[in-house]
Amino acid sequence: MSTTAAAASTPQPIGRPLWRKLIGFNLLTAVILGVGGYYLGWFIGHQISGKSFEFQTATDEHDVALLLAYFFGVVGFLIGLGFANYPVSRLLGKPASLREKEEQGIGRYFGLCTDHKVVGIQYLVGIGLFFFIGGLNAMLIRTELLHPVPTFVGPNQYLSLVGMHGTMMMGMMTSGILGPFANYFVPIMIGARRMAFPRIEALTFWLLMAAGFILVSTIFFGGFPTGWTGYEPLNDQAVMGMDSYICFFALVGLSMCLLGLNMMATIITMRAPGLTWSRLPIFVWSVFATSVLMVLAAPMLIATLLMAALDRTISTSFFLAGGGGSSYLFENLFWFFGHPEVYILALPGFGIVLELLPVFTRKPLWGYRLAVSGMLGVSLLSFFVWQHHLFVSGINADLRPFYMLSTEIISVPTGFIFLCFMGTMWKSRTSFTVPMLFCVAWAFNFLLGGLSGVFLSDSPSDTDTHGSFFVMAHFHYTIMGGLIFTFFAGIYYWVPKMTGLRFNERLSKIHFWSMFVAFNSTFLPLFALGMEGMPRRVSTYSPSLQALNVWVSISAFVLGLSMLVFLVNAVYSLIFVRLRAESNPWRSKSLEWQVPTPVPVNNFEQIPVFDSDPYDYGTPLTVGGAPATAGA
C-alpha cells in the first residue's frame, strides 16, 4: 500500500473582533432562532387547534402546539447555524461562501463545519454528553429498584426515567460509532479528501443535538409513560410529554437516514484508485452494512411516528381498535424498524473489533471474505426477523415457526464474526493494550448476549422471558457489552490520532477492569431476575427478589463510577497532562495512521493509490508452512 502524506498547507485564520464573531450564523444565533421558532410554532399551533379541535383545549393538552413548536424550533436552530446559507445563496445565484472551511480554532467545533474530522469530534463529545445523561437516568432507576415498593421516585417519573434512559441511549448510540469514528476515518481510510456530502454530514450531527435537547425537555411536559418502544394505544393516551419522544425519534430517524446515505455514497463513489471492494478495510465494510440498514429502516420509524402524532392530534385511529385501527399495527411497524435498529447498533462494533484485532495480534485479518459475508448476511437477514418481538402477542400463529427459523438463522452470520476473531488471534503475538482488552471483553459480552438471544428466539422459551428482565440482560449484553465496549475501544485506539495525545495507561486500565467487572456483575443477575418472574419497567417487585436487585444496583453504581474514571482519565490526559503520542503508537498499517497528526485539512497532499488491503501483518509462510525467518 503506497501512501503519500500531505504537507499541511492551511489558510491563515481571518482575524475578527469578538463582537463581530458573535453576530452571524453560529450556535448563539441558532439558539436564539430556535427559541423564537419554538414560540412561533406554539402560537401557530394554538391558532390551529383552538378553533378546530375542542378536546385539545378541554384537557389543556397542547399537542398540536407543542409539535409545531418543536418543528419550528428545530428549523430555526438549523437556520441559525447556517444550514440554509448554501441553498439560499445558490437559489439567489450568489457564489457560496467558503467561510466554513476557512475558520480555524476551537470555534469550528461549535457550529456548522464541513470538515469531516471536526464533525467526528463534535459527534464524540456530543454523543458522549447524552450518553452520560442516559447513564445518570439509569443510576436513578437503579436507586429506585433498591426497594421492592416505590420509595424515592414517583410512579410517573419512574416510567419517564425508564423511557428517557432507553430512548436516549437507543437514539444517540445508533450513531455512536458511525458518528465519531466513521465520519472521521472512513474518508481517510478510503483515500478521499472529504465525505460525499459534507454539509449533510454536519446536519446529521446538529439534528441529533437538537433532538437530544427535545427529549430532555420532556420532563417539563409531564414525561412519557411508554418506554422507548412507544406502544400504542398507551402512546395516544399519554400526556404532552409523549410529543417530545415523537419529535426526538423522528429527528433521530432523519439523522440516521442521512448519515447512512452519506456513508454509502462516500464508500461507493469516493474510493481512491486501486481500492477495490476486496481491499476495503473491514471497518469500512461494517459501516457500509450499517448504512444500508440505516437508510432502509429509519424512514419506517419516521412514518410510524407521524401516524402516532396524527392519532394524538387530529384524532385519526391508526392504532385504536375502537376506531377501526389496530394496536398490532404499531407493534409491527415499530419493530420493522426496531429490529434492523439493533443490528445498526451491533454491526459497527463487529467492524471495530475486526479492524483492531490485526493491529494488536500482528496478523492479517483471518477470514476476510467470511467476515464480510457475515456482516452483509446480518444486514440482510435483520429485515426478516422482527416478529420475534411479538411471539406471545397473539399474532397469526402460522407466523411463529417462520420467525423462529429466521431469528435462529441470523445467529449463523453473527457466528462468522466470532470465527474470524478467533482465527485472527490464533498463534498470534498479541499485545493486550487497552483497546485490545475492550475487544476481548466484546467477545465475552457479545457471546453471552448472543447465546441468550438463542433462548429468546425459541418461542416456547420466550414465553417465560418475553417482557422480563431476561430480555433486559440480553440486550444490555449485546448493546452495552457489544457497542459501548467497542465504542471505548475506538476511543482509546483512535484518540491519539485525532488529538495527538496519549491516555494515561494506568487510569485506562482501571477504567477497563472496573467497567468490565461491574458490567458483568450488574447484568448477569438480570437473567436470573427475569426467569424468576420480574417484568420490565417496574418499580415494584416480589420482595423475594430484593437481595438480587440490591446486588445489581450496587454493581450499577460501581459501573457508573467506572465511567467517571473514564471522564477523569479523559480530562487528566487530554487537558492537563497532554503527553504527545507518537505518530503511530500501535504500529498500524492502516492508512489513517500513515498521515501526519494533526491530520491536514485536505487529508492527503496527493490521493494515494492502493495495491493491497491494510492487513499486511505477520511473517509470510514458507512452502513448508513454517514462518519464514528474515534474512540477515
Partner 1 sequence: MSTLAKKVLGVGSAVAVLGVLIGLYVASWATSQPNTIVASVPPPSSGGTQLTLETVAAIGPKYEPSHPDWVSYLVRKNNKWIHSTIYSVPANSVVHVTLYQYDGDSGLRNPFLSQVQGTVGETETVDGKTINSIPPEEASHTFVIPQLGVFVPLPGVPEEAKNQCEFAPCEGAAHRTITFSFRTGKKGRYRWQCFVPCAAGYIDGFGGPMQTLGYMDGFINVV
Partner 2 sequence: MAAETHPGTPEPNHARRFTALWVISSLIATPLVIFLLGPSLPPGNGSEQASGHVTDNTVLLAMATPVLLLVVIYLIYASIFFRQPKGGVLEGPAVRGDSRIQTAWVVITSVLVLSLAAYGTVRLLADNGAGSGSGPKPLTVPKGPKLPVQVIAQQWAFTYRYPTYGGVETTHLELPDNEMVELHVTSIDVIHSFWAYKLGVKADANPGVDNIAFVKPTHEQSFEVRCSELCGIWHGYMFDKGYVVSPAAFETWIHEQQTKFAPATKVLPPYSNTYSPEPTRRAE
411 binds, among partner 1, partner 2, none (CB under 5 to 8 A by kind): partner 2
The footprint of partner 2 on residues 576-595 (CB under 8 A) is 587
CA distances from 610 to 277, 278, 594 (A): 11, 11, 13
Q: For partner 2, which is the closer residue by CB, 162 or 601?
A: 162
- Quick check: 47 binds partner 1 (CB under 8 A)? no
Q: For partner 2, which is the closer residue by CB, 101 or 536?
A: 536
- Note the Cα 494 to chain centre separation in Å: 17
The footprint of partner 1 on residues 233-262 (CB under 8 A) is 233, 236-239
The three three-digit cell numbers of residue 259, written as one number: 448519515
DSSP states of 475-496: HIIIIIIIIIHHHHHHHHHHHH
- The length of the chain in residues reads 632
Name the minimum Å distance from CB 54 to partner 1. 9
Question: What one-letter code names the amino acid at 238?
Answer: A
Name the minimum Å distance from CB 347 to partner 1. 32
Count of beta carbons in the 10 Å neighbourhood of residue 526: 23
Q: For partner 2, which is the closer residue by CB, 120 or 450?
A: 450
**Contact with partner 1 (CB under 8 A): which of 91, 575, 630, 632?**
575
DSSP states of 106-168: GGGGGS----HHHHHHHHHHHHHHHHHHHHHHHHHHHHHTTSSS--SS-HHHHHHHHHHHHHH
- Quick check: 445 binds partner 2 (CB under 8 A)? no
> What is the four-CA torsion angle of 105, 111, 114, 117, rounded to 10 degrees?
60
Question: What one-letter code names the amino acid at 479?
Answer: I
Work out the angle at residue 264's Cα, subtended by the Cα atoms of residues 268 and 418, and round it to the nearest 5 degrees: 100
Q: Which region, judged by CB under 8 A, interacts with partner 1, from 56-64, 298-306, 472-480, 501-509?
A: 56-64
- Quick check: 550 binds partner 2 (CB under 8 A)? no
- Rounded Cα distance between 295 and 297, Å, is 6
- Quick check: 222 binds partner 2 (CB under 8 A)? no
- Quick check: 48 binds partner 1 (CB under 8 A)? no
**Contact with partner 2 (CB under 8 A): which of 539, 549, 555, 562?**
539
**Contact with partner 1 (CB under 8 A): which of 65, 161, 178, 352?**
161
Is omega for the bond preceding 598 within 30 degrees of 0, making it cis? yes
The three three-digit cell numbers of residue 560, written as one number: 457508573
- Quick check: 63 binds partner 1 (CB under 8 A)? no
Q: For partner 1, which is the closer residue by CB, 2 or 57?
A: 57
Q: Which region, judged by CB under 8 A, interacts with partner 1, from 370-378, 395-403, 411-419, 570-578?
A: 570-578
Write the interaction track for partner 2 spanning residues 346-365; mark x where CB under 8 A is met and - where it is not.
---------------xxxxx
152 binds, among partner 2, partner 1, none (CB under 5 to 8 A by kind): partner 1
Q: Which region, judged by CB under 8 A, interacts with partner 2, from 182-190, 198-206, 223-231, 578-586?
A: 223-231
The three three-digit cell numbers of residue 486, written as one number: 467497542
The footprint of partner 1 on residues 576-615 (CB under 8 A) is 576, 578
**Contact with partner 2 (CB under 8 A): which of 10, 97, 542, 606?**
542
Integer distance in angstroms from the first to the last C-alpha of the chain? Answer: 24
Question: What one-letter code names the amino acid at 15?
Answer: G
Q: Which region, judged by CB under 8 A, interacts with partner 1, from 28-36, 68-76, 288-296, 574-582?
A: 574-582
- Quick check: 219 binds partner 1 (CB under 8 A)? yes
What letters, b where the CB count within 10 A reaches 16 and e where it falls short, cover 250-273?
bbbbbbbbbbbbbbbebbeebbbe
Name the minimum Å distance from CB 534 to partner 2. 8
* Pure H helices in 320-364: 327-361
- Rounded Cα distance between 240 and 475, Å, is 29
- Quick check: 370 binds partner 2 (CB under 8 A)? yes
- Quick check: 60 binds partner 1 (CB under 8 A)? yes
Name the minimum Å distance from CB 557 to partner 1. 15
**Contact with partner 2 (CB under 8 A): which of 464, 517, 568, 584?**
464
Write the interaction track for partner 2 spanning residues 38-77; mark x where CB under 8 A is met and - where it is not.
-----------------x----------------------
Number of residues located near partner 1, criterion CB under 8 A: 32
What letters, b where the CB count within 10 A reaches 16 and e where it falls short, cover 347-378?
bbbbbbbbbbbbbbbebbbbbbebbbebbbbb
Name the minimum Å distance from CB 542 to partner 2. 7
Write a three-state SS string for 515-581.
Answer: HHHHHHHHHHHHHHHHHCCCECCCCCCCHHHHHHHHHHHHHHHHHHHHHHHHHHHHHHHHHHHCCEC
Name the minimum Å distance from CB 475 to partner 2. 15
477 binds, among partner 1, partner 2, none (CB under 5 to 8 A by kind): none
The footprint of partner 2 on residues 115-174 (CB under 8 A) is 155-156, 159
Q: For partner 2, which is the closer residue by CB, 25 or 368?
A: 368
- Quick check: 489 binds partner 2 (CB under 8 A)? no
585 binds, among partner 1, partner 2, none (CB under 5 to 8 A by kind): none
- Quick check: 157 binds partner 1 (CB under 8 A)? yes
**Contact with partner 1 (CB under 8 A): which of 150, 274, 535, 618?**
150
- Residue 215 contacts by C-beta under 8 Å, 6 or more apart in sequence? 164, 167, 168, 171, 244, 245, 248
Is omega for the bond preceding 627 within 30 degrees of 0, making it cis? no
- Quick check: 392 binds partner 2 (CB under 8 A)? yes
- Quick check: 415 binds partner 2 (CB under 8 A)? yes
Count of beta carbons in the 10 Å neighbourhood of residue 436: 23
- Rounded Cα distance between 260 and 183, Å, is 11
The footprint of partner 1 on residues 303-362 (CB under 8 A) is 320, 322
Q: For partner 2, which is the closer residue by CB, 106 or 149?
A: 149
- Quick check: 200 binds partner 1 (CB under 8 A)? no
Burial of 293 (0-12, 13-18, 19+ CB in 10 A): buried
The three three-digit cell numbers of residue 86, written as one number: 448554501
Residues that bind partner 1 (CB under 8 A): 55-56, 58-61, 136, 140, 149-150, 152-158, 161, 219, 222, 225, 233, 236-239, 320, 322, 571, 575-576, 578
